[in-house]
Copies of this chain bind each other. A is one copy, B any other.
């Protein structure tokens, strides 16, 4: 495959065939006059072709435009410029799929397999938490939360995406404060035949300082990193995933994705921004809002992102409004290859953080044994308390 196939959806009332031609020409070589006749072969080789124009039942139309791979052999910055650059200014069109040649992007360094290897969790979903409150804690607060969560079995914890490298709680100080706890947790996990607990530290900065921070963190023992890829740009994720001195799992947060994917007739579908592009940029795990969670994400959008990530070996991380009572739904949708992620659904457990983690394991155990989640059937304990607070 020596092309990049892009599917555009045009709203009802648009001359989709015409617009697709505008894209195929205007987003590639453009037009030329007779003075360029001697270059015609070369110029033509850079033109895109309209492959298909498919009117849909709802009045919209899909059109597939095939771009020569030679116009964009690498780089998502260049890809976005080609497929939607100037055209994005001209009028409603939405990219619903991008098909890239195998091997086009930056490969994930870990993905599902690598994260399972590092954490030593092979036969169940991983469980992940988020430090709360989101910002305003001290590094010592982070360490205390992390230790309680990890000693109770949590596999991964991450900073809230809203927390940058702030002077009153710098990323490096958070790591330094948490490392002794991570080490104690490692020993406990080792005794159970497991690997490390991961702490995905949130990255921030410019395109020069952010990777520097990542390298400093990894040099000091960080074992995972978190990037708000939509706010920072895919080229930064591509750089992190290509950097031989940053060999830790890269978690991707969907913050700001709605700016590009939220509208109906503009931008790029979530399946493209969080699925195709995040995985092609080298993500190892990507957070996805669940459709029954706290954000208005549709079941279909969630399913498509999940399948695209899995197809590239990347861990889907169902998130946002997840609590122990909905674990059966998460398992039904995701199966075992998921990192189940809860913020307040762990941190605000009535019995504290440790009980919050235990409630998820208790829920998973009941789910595996096909036991009921009705409150009256539950024994006293963390799960019952969680369901008392958040329902099931």
Query: A: which residues have CB within 8 A of B?
Result: 27-33, 35-36, 39, 42-46, 70-73, 75, 77-78, 80-82, 84-92, 106, 132-138, 141, 160-162, 164, 166-168, 204-211, 228, 230-236, 238-239, 242-243, 253-260, 262-268, 289, 294-297, 320, 344, 348, 352
Are B207 and A233 neighbours in the complex by a CB distance under 8 Å? Answer: yes
Q: Which residues from B are CB-within-8-Å of A85?
A: 161-162, 228, 231, 253, 255-256
B39 near A137: Cβ-Cβ < 8 Å: yes
A259 touches B207 (CB 8 A): no
Partner of A70, one of B46, B70, B166, B268: B166
Nearest-neighbour CB distance to chain B for A3, whole angstroms, equals 15
Give the complex CA separation of A46 and B295 in angstroms: 23
Q: Which residues of B contact A254 (CB under 8 A)?
A: 86, 89
A259 touches B266 (CB 8 A): yes
Q: How many copies does the complex hold?
A: 2
Assembly CA distance A78 to B162 (angstroms)? 8
Main secondary structure of the interface of A (DSSP, over half): loop
Complex Cα spacing A160 to B28, Å: 10
Given A85-B228, A88-B258, A210-B235, check contact A39 B75 (CB 8 Å): no
Identify which of B45, B90, B210 contacts A258 (C-beta below 8 A). Answer: B90
From residue A143, how far is it (CB to closest CB) to chain B in Å?
A: 14
Name the contact of A133 in the complex, choosing from B31, B70, B211, B348 (C-beta under 8 A). Answer: B31
Q: Nearest residue in B to A262 (C-beta to C-beta)?
A: B266
Pick from B208, B232, B294: contact of A242, CB below 8 A.
B208
Alpha-carbon distance between A232 and B236 when the two chains are bound, in angstroms: 9
Give the distance in Å from the alpha carbon of A81 to the alpha carbon of B45 in the complex. Answer: 40
Tell me if A81 and B211 are in contact (CB < 8 A): no
B-side contacts of A88, CB under 8 Å: 255-259, 262
A92 and B133 contacting across the interface, CB-CB below 8 Å: no
Residue of B nearest to A91 (CB): B296
> Known: A30-B133, A268-B259. Is A161-B233 also a contact (CB below 8 A)?
no
- Whether the Cβ atoms of B90 and A296 lie closer than 8 Å is yes
